[in-house]
Chain A
């Protein structure tokens, strides 16, 4: 009887250990799922030399960080071709992330560096506030956004008062 009790205790400990191990592995499972990017379009052209992937017409791309709509996007890989380096969008582009919505004509998403850079007529909508400028840099890791403008036009901000 005593032996059986000891055995049951051991099994119980083992189960607890397995549950703990599974909980510890969950974040890694999440990372694995998040390492993909989904892209839909009307047309896609892939060339091997050099390796380019171009999505054309009604393009929609999404990953764990962003949702992006554009006329055309080009995927650029690292030199070895093993990793997506940047995603360039051309034409009317809209990007949504967390509480931000960015409208621009051209945008670059640095996938490895986790940064977004936009140039041209930019509109940034954040928490109901609207900012207009010519250059925008968003750091997805630090969660910072820097809007710049050229010498002629200044950055304009329209703050909504929701209180």
Chain B
């Protein structure tokens, strides 16, 4: 009887040791992963990227702060601009975003404002910008404003540098019949 009790105590102790080992393993594995992550993320203050898209037209991305991780750059308080084929700058502002340096694509989030020198303005909460083919997809609370027209919609796609704009879902517009009351 005594032997059986002693064996049970040993088994119980072994179990405890295993549980402790497992917890220690999880702890160190977690620490190592965090350390690896921290090692791969680089903070950049006031980053500015001036580069060219596939067709050679320049674009610039500025931010207050950025975190570099592999091929991505997480940016905060973004001011970007793309040059159209007609030599018109398209300006993009947002609270935050992610720039994919390999594909030249930008995902913008929160308080997005896109405007041109021609006085066109678009606002949205989410935008996906492809700098190569210059297609801008806007989602959530899309609003467009110029001197003659106001439009609101759920989604919008801007093609060919503002020469073709499509709006989808719950489109509401207010158009001035003429410019005499501006």
Q: List the A side residues contacting B39 at CB < 8 Å.
A: none
Contacts between the two chains (Cβ within 8 Å), count: 67
CA distance A49 to B164 in the complex (A): 9
Interface size class of A (residues with CB under 8 A): 20 to 34
Q: Using a CB–CB distance below 8 Å, which chain B residues touch chain A?
A: 149, 151, 153, 162-181
Given A40-B171, A44-B171, is A35 in contact with B176 using a C-beta cutoff of 8 Å?
A: yes
For the residues of B in contact with A, the DSSP-based class is strand
Complex Cα distance A82/B169, Å?
27
Q: B175 contacts A36, CB within 8 Å?
A: yes
What is the bound-complex CA distance between A92 and B25, given in angstroms?
71
Knowing that A55-B171, A75-B175 touch, tell me 10 more A-B residue pairs with CB under 8 angstroms.
A32-B181, A35-B180, A40-B171, A42-B170, A42-B171, A43-B167, A44-B151, A44-B166, A53-B149, A83-B177
Asked if residues B174 and A38 are in contact (CB atoms below 8 Å), the reply is yes
Given A37-B175, A38-B174, A55-B171, A43 and B166 touching (CB < 8 A)? yes
Chain B contacts of A44 at CB under 8 A? 151, 153, 166-167, 171, 173
- Residues of A at under 8 Å CB distance from B? 32, 35-49, 53, 55, 63, 75, 82-84, 111
Which one of B167, B173, B174, B178 lies within 8 Å of A82 (CB-CB)?
B178
- The interface residues of chain B lying within 8 Å CB-to-CB of A37 are 174-175, 177
- Per CB-CB distance, the 10 closest pairs between chain A and chain B, nearest first, are A44-B167, A83-B178, A48-B163, A44-B171, A46-B165, A41-B171, A39-B173, A84-B177, A32-B181, A35-B177
Q: Whole-angstrom distance between the alpha carbons of A79 and B84 in the complex?
A: 25
